[in-house]
Amino acid sequence: MGISIGIISARNAGYHPNMRLSAAARERGHGAILINPYTAWSGLIKGDHTLFGDLEKGRPDIIVPRQGAQVRDSCLALLRHLILMGIPSANDFEAVLVSRNQYLTLQSLAGAGIPVPDTMLANSEDVLMKAADHIGGYPFVAKQVSGRQGQGIMLVRSRKDCRDIATNHLDINKGILLQKFIPPQGRKDIRVFVLGDKAVASMELKPKQGDFRANYHLSGMSKGIEIGPQLSRIAVKAASVIGLDIAGIDMIVDGNGKSRVVEVNYSPGFKGLEAATGMDIAGMIIDHVHLCYLNKRGTAKTA
Stretch 134-139: mean pLDDT, rounded? 96
Cβ(241)–Cβ(108) below 8 Å: yes
Task: Give residue 297's pLDDT.
Answer: 76
Stretch 159-182: mean pLDDT, rounded? 95
Stretch 66-89: mean pLDDT, rounded? 91
Strand 140-144, strand 176-180: pairing:
antiparallel
Q: How does residue 148 score in pLDDT terms, banded at 50, 70 and 90?
A: low
Domain edges within the chain = 4-98, 119-180, 184-265
Stretch 76-101: mean pLDDT, rounded? 96
Cα 218 → chain centroid: 17
CATH topology of domain 184-265: D-amino Acid Aminotransferase; Chain A, domain 1 (3.30.470)
Q: Which residue has the higher pLDDT, 140 or 208?
A: 140
Stretch 148-175: mean pLDDT, rounded? 89
Task: Give residue 160's pLDDT.
Answer: 96
Task: Give residue 214's pLDDT.
Answer: 64
Cβ(260)–Cβ(116) below 8 Å: yes
Task: With a cut of 70, say whether residue 11 has pLDDT above it.
Answer: yes
Task: With a cut of 90, say whether residue 54 has pLDDT above it.
Answer: yes
Query: Cα–Cα distances in Å, from 254 out to 201, 206, 251, 266?
Result: 21, 14, 10, 25
Task: With a cut of 80, say whether residue 211 has pLDDT above it.
Answer: no
Distance between CA atoms of 133 and 139, rounded to whole angstroms? 11
What are residue 263's phi and psi, to 5 degrees? Answer: -150, 155
Q: What is the pLDDT of residues 246-300, one digit of tens each?
A: 999 999 999 899 999 999 999 999 999 999 999 999 999 999 999 999 998 755 4
Task: Give residue 150's pLDDT.
Answer: 60
Stretch 26-53: mean pLDDT, rounded? 96
Length of the chain: 303
Domain 4-98 CATH assignment equals 3.40.50.20: yes
In DSSP notation, the chain reads: ---EEEEE-SS-TTSHHHHHHHHHHHHTT-EEEEE-TTTEEEEEETTEEEEEETTTT---SEEEE---TT--HHHHHHHHHHHHTT--BSS-HHHHHHHTSHHHHHHHHHHTT-----EEEE-SHHHHHHHTTTTTSSSEEEEETT--TTTTEEEE-SHHHHHHHHHHT--TTT-EEEEE---STT-EEEEEEEETTEEEEEEEE-PPTT-----HHHH--EEE----HHHHHHHHHHHHHHT-SEEEEEEEE-TTS-EEEEEEESS---HHHHHHH---HHHHHHHHHHHHHHHHTTPPP--
Q: CA neighbours within 13 Å on the CB side: how many for 9?
A: 23
Q: What is the pLDDT of residues 214-258, one digit of tens each?
A: 665 544 568 999 999 999 999 999 999 999 999 999 999 998 999
Task: With a cut of 90, say whether residue 139 has pLDDT above it.
Answer: yes
- CATH architecture of the domain with range 119-180: 2-Layer Sandwich (3.30)
Mean pLDDT over the full length of the chain: 92
Task: Give residue 27's pLDDT.
Answer: 98
Residue 87 one-letter amino acid? I
Task: Give residue 300's pLDDT.
Answer: 42
Task: Give residue 221's pLDDT.
Answer: 66
Q: What is the pLDDT of residues 95-110, one digit of tens each?
A: 999 999 999 999 999 9
